[in-house]
Amino acid sequence: MSRPLPLLALSLALPVVALLALAQGDYPVSLPELLGALAGRSEGPVHLVVIDWRLPRVGLALTAGAALGLAGALFQSITRNPLGSPDVIGLNAGAYTGALLALILGGGQVLSGALLGGLVTALAVYLLAWRGGLHGTRLVLVGIGVSAMATAANTWLLMTARLEVAMGAATWGAGSLNGATLAQLGPMALALPVLALGVTLLARPLRQLELGDDLSRAQGVPVALVRLCGLGLGVVLTALATATAGPIAFVALAAPQIGRRLTGASGAAFLPAALTGALLLALADLVAAQGLPGARQIPVGVVTLVLGGVYLLALLRLEARK
């Protein structure tokens, strides 16, 4: 069980960060103006900046971060490995490949392409890692290899694409929420509650799977079906986040671990992972939106990569001390 106070603190931190992101920027907005815009009582520049420009970006940061946190918790539970996250085992790269093909072929169906790319990559990793069963370490190692091949394919696709397509795809591929719109937020806001409900229904059997396949079967858990459903949900969550914000690293890897440490939860802590993922991506995008001194806004994926490197170094140092 999670400690209630850290969960409450995470829940309260989300609206605080969201309001801060809505108010800060090149056009600062006061708190009364911000509340008026959210209540529909403002017009002109304040309404344009808050509702049309910043609100979709903040909403996508929260929903995509929660989706990545849930996906990371699913994969880490299934693999029983803290490195079992979508960005490590190649799903981000595979979803990016699908989105790139959709852009290059001219269809422009980035969401469908990312979803198909993630599903194909997950199927390839699953089949290559299967040896009379699914072992977590083998799945992670196979996923790293598949991720390297998908990354190489993505580089080749960018080099051979038309210049304007390659430039747009490369910017999006860095992981960016710049230019987010309400039309992009809609599918994520509608799909996330449904997918979160599916994760909630799987939470109990997934916790039983962490005890081992043999014991789980003895308790009547359909091991293969539960694992396949968990993988499917994780793929869809990753593909949705990738299609809307690009391949963002670190969040799915770190959110479940940080959430578990903050709340004292054991096993697959899905709610802390979702809240932590949303908070991490919202904070990272707040930093990205402010940009560097004398520079323009930077992609949020750059910020999460830097944070991810610091996190991995700290984790390695902690493990070395143990």
Q: What is the CATH number of the domain that holds 10?
A: 1.10.3470.10
- The answer to whether the CB of 192 falls within 8 A of the CB of 61 is no
Q: Which among 226, 174, 236, 164 is positioned nearest to 201, based on CA atoms?
A: 226
Domain total in the chain: 1
Number of C-beta neighbours around residue 164 at 10 A: 8
Helix (H, G, I), strand (E, B) or coil at 4: helix
Instruction: Spell out the residues 6+ positions from residue 195 whose beta carbon is closer than 8 angstroms to its own.
Output: 67, 70, 233, 236, 237, 240
145 Cβ contact partners less than 8 Å away, ≥ 6 residues apart? none
Q: Which residues of the chain have pLDDT under 50?
A: none
Residue 88 vs residues 94, 248, 319: alpha-carbon distances, Å? 11, 11, 19
Which spans in 24-87 are helix H?
Answer: 31-38, 45-47, 55-79
pLDDT value at residue 322: 64
| 93: nearest Cα among 145, 43, 31, 21 | 145
Asked if residue 269 lies in contact with residue 263, where contact means CB atoms within 8 angstroms, the answer is yes
Separation CA 116–CA 110 (nearest Å)? 10
Q: How far apart are CA 60 and CA 39, in angstroms?
A: 20
Provide CB contacts within 8 A for 47, sequence distance 6+: 37
Cβ distance 68 to 240 under 8 Å? no
Residue 106 DSSP label: T
Neighbours of 322 (CB within 10 A): 4
Residue 84: strand, helix, or coil: coil
Q: What is the domain extent for residue 197?
A: 4-321
Distance between the two ends of the chain, CA-based, in angstroms?
25
pLDDT at position 107 is: 63
Could you give the CA distance from residue 60 to residue 244 in angstroms, rounded to a whole number? 8
User: Please, are residues 277 and 133 in contact by the beta-carbon 8 Å criterion?
Assistant: no
110 in Cβ contact with 257 (< 8 Å): no
Please give the pLDDT value at position 44: 80
The residue type of 43 is: E
